[in-house]
Each structure stands twice: as C-alpha cells, then as structure tokens.
Amino acid sequence: MDGLFVLSADRSVRAIARFGKVVRIVPITICLLAIFLSLSAASLTVVSRVSAIPSAAIVVITHGFAQNVTYTQQGHFIAINTTSSFTQDYPLIYAYFTAEFASVNVTWAWYDPTGQLFLNRTQDLQCPFTPCSFVYYFPLRNTAAATKYGLWTMTLQAGGVDLYSDHFSVIPVITQNVFWDFEITQALPPRAHGSVTVTIHPSNKTWSSYYVDLPFATNITAYEFASHHALGVTSDKTGRVVVNFGAARSDGYKFVVSFDLASDLWQVSGGVFLFYWYESGWATYNDGYHSIPGSFNVSLPTNATFLDIVGINSITFNTHVNESSSRSVVGLEQTLPAGQQLGWVMLYRDTSYGISQPTSTAPSPTAAALNTVLAKPVPFLPLTFGSLSLWTAVMSVFLLVGSELLAPAYGKMGVLIDRRRLRIAALTLTTVFIVVTAYEITLLQSMLPPVGR
C-alpha cells in the first residue's frame, strides 16, 4: 500500500508539473494568435483600400508630381524636382506613382479648380517584377488648362475605386502690366487724350516690338518711359498699332503709347454723356493664354459728375472716384482675362455742356457699337468683319445668279463651267455670310450695356 501510495503521489506531481507547463504556454499562444490576426486584418485592410478588384490587388507605395522624370539603365524610375506648384508656362506636369501589383486597369482623372472633370485617361498596366513605377504626362503650357488658375486635383482610380488623390496649383505668369489714362477735356465737341503705359515681363525672353489695338485713335506716338526716347510706330486702317523698340528688351522695360481719341464719346441726352471703351484679349499683345492686370484712370471734364459705369460681358470693376478737385477722376482696376474681351460704358453729367447745348449728331451707343463691330479685324485675315460680310454677300449673289443662268432651262448648254460646283461655292459663301452676321450680332449684344426696366 505504501508503494502504491508513493506511485500515485508521484504521478500526481508529474501531472501537476505538466499542467503548469501548459498554463505557461497558453498565454504565449494567445499572444501569438492575436498578433497574427491583427497583422492579417491590417493586410486585408490595405488591400481592400487600394484594390481595383479582389483578384487584382494594387498596393501604392509612393506618388506625387514632378517637373521632370528619368529612368536608369535598369529601368528604375527617378522623379526630378518633385513639387505641387507649377506656373502656367510649364510644358508638362508629370504625375507618377510606384506600386506593387501584377496587372491592373487605372484611370487618371484630372479636376480643375472648380471641381469639374477636365480630363481622364485609362491605361492597362502590367508589372512583371514588382514594384513598378508609372508616369502620366499632363500638357499645360499654351493649353486651356493654363488659363485655369488655382488648386487642381488628380485622382488615380482602379476599377472605379479611388486609390489616392493629389493636389497641385497652377500659378499665372504675368507677362505685362498696363495702365490706361484718359483725359476728357471737353464733352461737346468731344475732345479727349489717352495714353497707355506698359511694363513688359517676357518670362525669360525678350520682346523687340509690341502690338496694341487702337481703332479710334489718332496722332499716335510712343516713347520710352525713363528717357522719353521716341519709338517707331506703325498703324493701319483697322487700328492695329505696332511699337518698335529698336532692340530686344527684357523684363522691366517700360514705354508709353500716347494718342488722341477720335470717337467713343457721345451725348446720350441733355447734359448726360457716354464714354465707351473696350479691348479684346488680343488687343495688347496677348497670346490668348496669359491674363493682363490693368488699371484705368478717367479724368472727367471740369465740373462734370460721374454717374455710373457698366462692364461688358458682366465684368465688374474695382471702382473708386476722387472728387477732391474741380475735376472728378474715376479709377478702375481689373485683370484682362486671357483671350477675352474687356470693356466698359461710363456715364457722366457735364453741367457746362448740357441742356443749353444742342444735342450732338454723334451716333447712339447702339450705332457706335455696331460701327465698332464692323471695324473689328478678322483674325489671320487682312479684312474687317464688315468688309467680310459685304464681300461674301455680293459674291454669293453673283455666283447664285450665274449658276441659275447656266441651267439648261436658259439654253446655256455650251458653257464649260461645272454648274454644280458653282452652286456649291455660292452656297458656301452664303453660309459664311450667315455665320459672320450671326457672330456680329452676338458681339454687338455683348458690347451693349444691359437695359434696365
């Protein structure tokens, strides 16, 4: 019995020892299991966040924008000058990313500062030796995107899922600053003098001449601002004025164009006068992509009173009126949009030339605006819109009459002229006439101030 008891006790001691080892192992096992489950959950979370579809997972490692990129001999990607800010004159924006995947279909979606989708492109990408780097080249300089200043967004998508979004800024490049100064010395008969002072910023280039559109100007001269050295000026009947600098000029060069106004001043009714001014986006050496900060000063005649100003195309101005002296000075500030038209109609009352003076025979604002439209030059052609309308109308009538006279009904069967082609040419000119006339009407409506009820 004693031996049996000892044997039983010994077995109990060994069982207790084994149980103690198990107790010590269980916490360690639980900890290892918890770590494994947490790592698995994290891994699943990353893949689900950047996967296009379950069978084509993509894990993005790095992404961003650069001014340039290059590749090494082994095909590795190198981003040069990474940045999120680009001036509008950068030729390309390089969007890049590095990721781990086998095969995936991605979409590059570009949103402008208003939040509107500007461009999207889809690509099928393969990555046989992960990780891989890819680049998309977004054109900027001399494109519509270059005129949309502000914060852009580029979103990379895969299978309809956003992988990431990056932001970058497009900053305007100022190529020139202009200051217009008008001095109205007399309302009736109208007498006014104007000048424009220009400071150029050619953006790492030089200019040797300058173009400005002055359709209602006479006695045009130009000179350097600092030295008053006279500059060469040439102009044509459409008002195209070219100032020759005499040499290549760089950033900061400043000059003045002086002129007298031969029009743009009319009497609306007894004592109330109108001063109208406009300039197109191409009127001051604008390439259609760069905005031009501009300011205007208008000195009214002695004892005249400023009434109101209306900007065309719903453009508003920062306006301030200085009435501290006998002559009111109206100041305006606005940036000329790239490739657009900027202008205004100013109303003022002149007590010296009002009811006691007979109403001027000058054209009404509508007629004056119509004359302005007809005198507007056609881009790339030595014609104005008025002359183009007249020419197309006359030529289309001649060709249509000729095509009818050549018809078999008139017995002109022996004339070696293709009547069908003649008629097509006549209809083409008629279409051009209709299109030009429609454009003239649209432009005329935009130039007239809104009529209040």
Domains in the chain: ranges and CATH: 59-171 (2.60.40.1930), 176-362 (2.60.40.1730), 363-453 (no CATH)
Q: What are residue 344's DSSP bridge partners?
A: 277, 311
Sign, Cα dihedral of 415, 418, 424, 426: negative
Look at residues 411, 278, 382 and name the one whose alpha carbon lies nearest to residue 334: 278
Give the per-residue pLDDT at 381.
60
| Residue 237 DSSP SS3 | coil
DSSP H helices, 134-224, are: none
Give the per-residue pLDDT at 60.
92
Cis upstream peptide for 189 (omega within 30°): yes
Q: Which residue type sits at 109?
A: A
Give the per-residue pLDDT at 75.
59
Give the per-residue pLDDT at 318.
86
Give the per-residue pLDDT at 9.
40
Torsion of CA 149, 151, 154, 155, to 10 degrees: -140
Please state whether 321 falls in left (phi above 0), alpha (psi between -120 and 50) or beta.
beta
pLDDT in tens, 59-98: 999 999 999 888 776 656 788 899 999 999 999 999 999 9
Sign, Cα dihedral of 444, 448, 450, 453: negative
With both helix axes pointing from N to C terminus, report the angle between 385-405 and 419-447 in degrees, rounded to the nearest 10.
Answer: 150
Give the per-residue pLDDT at 394.
74
Q: How many CB atoms lie within 10 A of CB 218?
A: 11
| Residue 181 C-alpha from the chain's centroid | 27
Rg of the Cα atoms in the chain: 37
Give the per-residue pLDDT at 273.
87
Give the residue ranges of the chain where pLDDT is below 70: 1-56, 73-76, 263-264, 279-287, 313-314, 339, 353-383, 385, 398-399, 401-419, 443-453
Who's near 46: CB < 8 A, 6+ residues apart? Answer: 59
d(CA 369, CA 384): 14
Who's near 372: CB < 8 A, 6+ residues apart? Answer: 215, 278, 447
Give the per-residue pLDDT at 364.
54
* H or E element at residue 107: strand 103-111
Beta strands, E only, 175-281: 176-186, 191-200, 207-213, 217-224, 232-235, 240-249, 254-261, 265-269, 272-279
